[in-house]
Amino acid sequence: MRLAGKNTVVTGAASGIGRETALRFAEEGAGVVCADMDTEGAAAVAASIVANGGAAHSVRADITSEADAARLAEESLAALDRIDVLVNNAGVTILGGVAELSEAEWQREIDINLSGAYRVSKAFWPHFADAGGGAILSTASIAGVVAARQDAAYVASKAGLIMLTRCMALDGAPHGIRANCVCPGFVDTPMFEGFIAEQPDPDASLARAAGRTPLGRIGTPRDIADGFVYLASDDARWITGTSLVIDGGLTIGLPE
Secondary structure of 158-181 as H, E, C letters: HHHHHHHHHHHHHHHHHHCEEEEE
Active site (catalytic) residues: 154
Q: What are phi and psi of 86, to 5 degrees?
A: -115, 130
Q: How many residues can be counted in the chain?
A: 256
Q: What are phi and psi of 134, to 5 degrees?
A: 170, 175
- CA distances to 51, 129, 130, 228 from 38, rounded to whole Å, are 20, 30, 31, 22
Question: How many Å apart are CA 250 and CA 222, to the nearest integer?
Answer: 18
| Coil, helix or strand at residue 59 | strand
Which residues 6+ apart lie within 8 Å of 28 measured at CB?
A: 1, 2, 3, 4, 229, 233
- Cβ atoms within 10 Å, residue 36: 27
The closest alpha carbon to 192, from 97, 116, 93, belongs to 93
